[in-house]
Structure 1
């Protein structure tokens, strides 16, 4: 296999003032935040392609379809980040510890085939985050102050693998159909009562199922403690664009650390769950048992893609807290600290109200 190596665009400077042009979320343009000059991003009219899986699994060791980039490694939490921006220094998007450009190192990176560009601007994500923080009960005042500082909110592209395949499976199992019998029993008073007891009749079942499994999404980075919550990890993949580095300009990109081969194995586990669900649907009845299943995947393809999130990292009493906003649809989730003093004061206030109520009702 001789795949063509994708070309990325170099960072562009504003023709008016010389500042770096950065991607403007929700558009296909890069813009100057100082003078407002904009330039269109050239979108590949041929779109992005689904790559044949097995030829690439054999070629991965050669690092084809790749380029050399500068990586920043966080010594505190271990995250590897690539910055398409001329920062002199910045903070890790996950744990807020300082990162320095002088610590950057070069590494070969297999280019993504597609990217879902940010659809929400940083200012809007900041507003979503602030509204969420303001609605938290008993949150420390320091957290609310952190919510007022935009430097703690960073735009991050997360790496994912997607897999497509034709799935076929044959199975044997049993179809269960419910029926009810009347049962007599004595209650606590010794009286005879009746009740309906559900039972199941089992019948042998076998058959074949088949279908297309589209865009099985597998995360491609070992995010510490499963950082990105499932609640926000849903994107409309129909908005994917052919990869162009201009979409990354002004944002941080996390490098994939789960190789293609491992991602494929995880995708097969997902496909097996899908196959079993199809088998149960095919068996029918009220309940089902799948005794054996032989699954086969063909015409397997994959993509390496980047998906957008905004991350706000905050440290409180030595513990890390992360808040995530989906960069495409604005959904938010995160962990939060509690202020012990606010909780204690609330309890004391509640006790005082009860004492006042009792005092006046006894007069």
Structure 2
């Protein structure tokens, strides 16, 4: 009988001492047993990153050797598709907190990640960042801390992104503008004066630009709620490591909901912006007008990458709030409630101070 090899993205390792599942220790290259403390080093990849040729995937998705099935749970409330490791005590959506039912798990084809950016801070550190953020909030309700500060609700997520590489070439026509100044007399009588007025001389310009566009990052998931804020969606991609499922142990892994084709179209828009920037730099002068651009992309490749985020959902007076911590840099962004009465009394105090100043000035 032919032996079936385990899924690359679902490989699990057990502790040699006690048999418990090993989990990734953020900021290291080790797997750790949370029960007995045993550690194992994650072996570095000998192959490095593998950029996948874009065209075959766009023509026939899922038929390549870099695709496989993974067990997924779909959140009916916000639309996130997530694979949750077995060591979680309760199954709930990492974005919106809605319960997930293990019986609803299903198999779905996905493009294997080509790279992963391992967590650099652990769950304890992420929770400390959140606590400090809550403590520093102005006009927050007094009982917010009691409602929000539950460390068990802070969970690590590997969020999916696409990266695209390409050789860019663009022909262009346009105009180069150079500033010059003329002296003009304005006003009359005592108000008569001279001013310098800026004008522009335009010269025709044309040419071509070319270069390599590296790692254009495009988000690969869409949710109705709990969208990762742009403020924290910045990672140092130079720290990417070749994909190894060991880095996923103990964390939630989200499957992309934005297909490769849609991500590619979005990356083309960014390539157009890059081309425009290169063209304007090539035209030179003080200002530029780009009349036409004929851009082509060649040797296009892509990667499916997983990037680290800590997510927490908490409820306050019947409303759900989210906060996010970048799992690499520790940058935080979140939603928060406001206390009507604190704002009211603050404004009232300001009005009283203004009133007193006015009375004393009389």
Q: TM-score, normalised by structure 1?
A: 0.90
* Cross-structure match for 2:296: 296
Residue 62 (1) aligns with residue 50 (2): no
Between stretches 243-252 and 134-143, larger displacement belongs to 134-143
3-state secondary structure, aligned to 1:89: coil
Q: Tell me how far apart the structure 2 counterparts of residues 344 and 103 of structure 1 sit (CA, whole Å).
A: 48
User: How has the CA–CA distance of structure 1 residues 154 and 8 changed in structure 2, closer, same or farther, with 3 Å as cutoff?
Assistant: closer
Residue pair 1:89, 1:100 contacting (<8 A) in 2 also: no
The one-character-per-residue Cα deviations of 1:71-107 (angstroms, maximum 9, x if unpaired) are 2222222222111233352332212223232332222
Count, aligned residues: 356
* Cross-structure match for 2:174: 173
Residue 345 (1) aligns with residue 342 (2): no
Q: Where does structure 1 lack aligned partners over 5 or more consecutive residues?
A: none
* Cross-structure match for 2:3: none
Q: Tell me how far apart the structure 2 counterparts of residues 63 and 253 of structure 1 sit (CA, whole Å).
A: 22
Q: Tell me how far apart the structure 1 counterparts of residues 205 and 60 of structure 2 sit (CA, whole Å).
A: 43
* Cross-structure match for 2:164: 163
3-state secondary structure, aligned to 1:91: coil
Residue 29 (1) aligns with residue 63 (2): no
Give the CA deviation at 1:355: 7.4
Residue 149 (1) aligns with residue 150 (2): yes
Give the CA deviation at 1:270: 0.7
Q: Tell me how far apart the structure 2 counterparts of residues 224 and 182 of structure 1 sit (CA, whole Å).
A: 58
Residue 203 (1) aligns with residue 203 (2): yes
Residue 108 (1) aligns with residue 109 (2): yes
> Which residues of 2 match residues 1-363 of structure 1 at below 5 A?
7-8=8-9, 10-62=11-63, 64-186=65-187, 191-224=191-224, 227-350=227-350
The one-character-per-residue Cα deviations of 1:9-60 (angstroms, maximum 9, x if unpaired) are 6322223233221111111211111211112223321112111111222231
Residue pair 1:84, 1:251 contacting (<8 A) in 2 also: yes
Residue pair 1:9, 1:246 contacting (<8 A) in 2 also: no
3-state secondary structure, aligned to 1:60: coil
Q: Where does structure 2 lack aligned partners over 5 or more consecutive residues?
A: 1-5
Residue pair 1:6, 1:65 contacting (<8 A) in 2 also: no
Q: Tell me how far apart the structure 1 counterparts of residues 64 and 319 of structure 2 sit (CA, whole Å).
A: 38
Give the CA deviation at 1:221: 0.9
Give the CA deviation at 1:147: 4.1
3-state secondary structure, aligned to 1:271: helix
User: How has the CA–CA distance of structure 1 residues 227 and 316 changed in structure 2, closer, same or farther, with 3 Å as cutoff?
Assistant: same
